[in-house]
Amino acid sequence: MSKEKQNITGHLREYRDDIKQAIDVMNKGGIILYPTDTIWGIGCDATNEEAVKRVFEIKKRNDAKALITLVDSEAKIEFYVREVPDVAWQLMEVATRPLTIIYDGARNLAPNLLAEDGSAGIRVTHEEFSQNLCMRMRRAIVSTSANISGEPSPKCFADIAPEILEAVDYVCTSRRNETQNPPASNIIKLGVGGEVKVIR
């Protein structure tokens, strides 16, 4: 085998191991730090109430502020939302950057992930690592910026505070060397009757 092929094989093995370890940790109720379609995020199993509680504690964030969850495909949204408005599919189809949609009538998620009105913010990720992570996890994954609440969000892995790195149970190895500043997601809230409210 050529050195180039050995390198590719080695990278693939590391990538798969990284995803496997992250999933093992989340399945045990643990917290991970991982790259997403926007910035690095603190994540956990979005159906595990105790794990979600720990994420709030790590961020020192008021649990009245709901967290975003990621899924790997549009089809998964229907499992977590009682009734997906038609306008949601249209918005996702034309979106040119990551789009978080806040849906009414969320279900099958940890209760402390929901806002007081029962809504939840869900985003379909098309970034390779986080998409594969969600697909292999087979459940939605929490995604919240890797910072203490009120402090600036890290633009890349190197910006993440030691306090956050030490608080999680597993730090993913993939994409650590990237230094670009990815855009934050757009956030849109969909109300009853297809009402559209732009949050960000």
pLDDT in tens, 35-81: 999 999 999 999 999 999 999 999 998 776 789 999 999 999 999 99
At 181 the three-state DSSP class reads: coil
Q: Hey, what amino acid is at 111?
A: P
pLDDT in tens, 76-106: 999 999 999 999 999 999 999 999 999 999 9
Sheet holding 41-43, edge to edge: 170-171, 32-34, 41-43, 141-145, 68-71, 120-124, 99-103, 186-190, 196-198
Fold (topology level) of 3-198: DHBP synthase (3.90.870)
